[in-house]
Amino acid sequence: MFSDYDLYLPIIDRPCIRWPDGAPLALWISPNVEHYEYLPPFNQASDPWPRTPHPDVMNYAYRDYGNRVGFWRMLEVLDHYRVQATVSLNVAVLDHFPAVRDAMLRRDWAFMAHGIYNTRHLYGATEEQELALYRNCIETVKRYTGKQLKGMLSPAITNTAHTPELMARAGLIYTADWFWDDQPMPLRVKSGQLITVPYTVELNDSLMFQHTYYRQGFEGEYFVQICKDQFDVLYREGQRSGRVMCIALHPFLIGQPHRIQYLDEILSYVLSREGVWQTTADEIAGYFYENYYDQFLKHIETLDRAGRLGRVFSGRNAACRKAEA
């Protein structure tokens, strides 16, 4: 069974997207500026430091390198290429690290919330607690930056069954949690409107570089190569209908001295081609809402009425409906 939020539309049969000035590719760069607590509150559903009884000094210190050193090294490269970044932000950073906050504000980065701390997962949260989190993020970003928060990547990409609905109810207009497509897509919510803006766990230094019990870490040369390869394919496909490419960064990883050269190589490649709209997730969402949101919904309805989708707005396909009858 599909999720209740799922509005399926195959990429081979959609309204044609044209980004500003006919750009085939919308490229957004998302530094994840995070803070992991030394002693996070207990969550029976999920332990952010499962390696050892708290405190886990090794992992705490490893990640804190990002805000102390890695952020500033990464910033030099982003500045060199005049990248307009979309920070995926644990909003407590705005209070705890004023130097980092002010550096982002001076560059007029877009702010996408990533929870308050990355050690406070949504698993086990009630609807009231989760809605309060989104409202807290909105209020905190407004208070420290003057900006209206528009989008969210949930903390540690954790969700409940109610997450999209509650994001929309709080007034957010996009989520980056559903990285299931190469274009923005509407989600079916009861209140407000919510779309997905393509994020990535493929071109993501966190999943690329870290060694864990379920994945083998890679290093910089491979990261550069897959960024180039993905760019080439999406840029080519975007000539027919615009695509979105995201590169997700973490300062404690890409900001290491032995890796920073690879970020320079990636940006040199993807920003050298004509017709790349280097932009923010906020701008991508706003442009899609203004130009394509209604078109996509109408097209989905038309295909569904014609029986060409194989699944419907309720999230149940024909086989499921027949079985339930």
Cα(174)–Cα(152) distance, integer angstroms: 7
pLDDT digits (tens, 9 = 90+) for 116-143: 999 999 998 999 999 999 999 999 999 9
* pLDDT of 55 higher than 80: yes
Relative to beta strand 174-175, strand 25-33 is: unpaired
* pLDDT of 182 higher than 90: yes
Q: Which of 86-90, 226-230, 313-317 has the lowest mean pLDDT?
A: 313-317
Which position has the higher pLDDT, 36 or 324?
A: 36
Question: In the predicted model, what is the mean pLDDT of the chain?
Answer: 91
* pLDDT of 180 higher than 60: yes
Looking at residue 324, its pLDDT comes to 32
DSSP 317: B
Looking at residue 23, its pLDDT comes to 98
Looking at residue 49, its pLDDT comes to 85
Compute the average pLDDT of residues 229-256. 98
If you write DSSP's letter for every residue of 152-179 in order, what string do you get? E--GGG---TTHHHHHHHHT--EESS--
Compute the average pLDDT of residues 251-262. 96
Looking at residue 213, its pLDDT comes to 45
Looking at residue 311, its pLDDT comes to 56
Looking at residue 211, its pLDDT comes to 61
Compute the average pLDDT of residues 13-42. 96
* pLDDT of 255 higher than 50: yes
pLDDT digits (tens, 9 = 90+) for 257-298: 999 999 999 999 999 999 999 999 999 999 999 999 999 999
Domains of the chain: 20-291 (3.20.20.370)
Helices (H), 56-126: 57-65, 71-80, 93-96, 98-106
Place 160 in a pLDDT band, splitting at 50, 70 and 90: very high
* pLDDT of 40 higher than 50: yes
Percent of the chain with pLDDT over 90: 79
If you write DSSP's letter for every residue of 180-228 in order, what string do you get? --SS-EEE--SSS-EEE----SSSBHHHHH--BTTB----HHHHHHHHH
CB crowding 173-209: b at 16 or more within 10 Å, else e: bbbbbbbeebbbbbbbbeeeebbbbbbbeebbbebbb
Percent of the chain with pLDDT over 70: 92
C-alpha torsion 287→147→36→71, nearest 10: 80
Compute the average pLDDT of residues 304-315. 64
* pLDDT of 152 higher than 90: yes
Looking at residue 1, its pLDDT comes to 52
Looking at residue 214, its pLDDT comes to 45
Looking at residue 28, its pLDDT comes to 98
Compute the average pLDDT of residues 297-306. 88
pLDDT digits (tens, 9 = 90+) for 164-175: 999 999 999 999
* Rg for the chain, CA atoms, rounded: 20
* pLDDT of 48 higher than 90: no
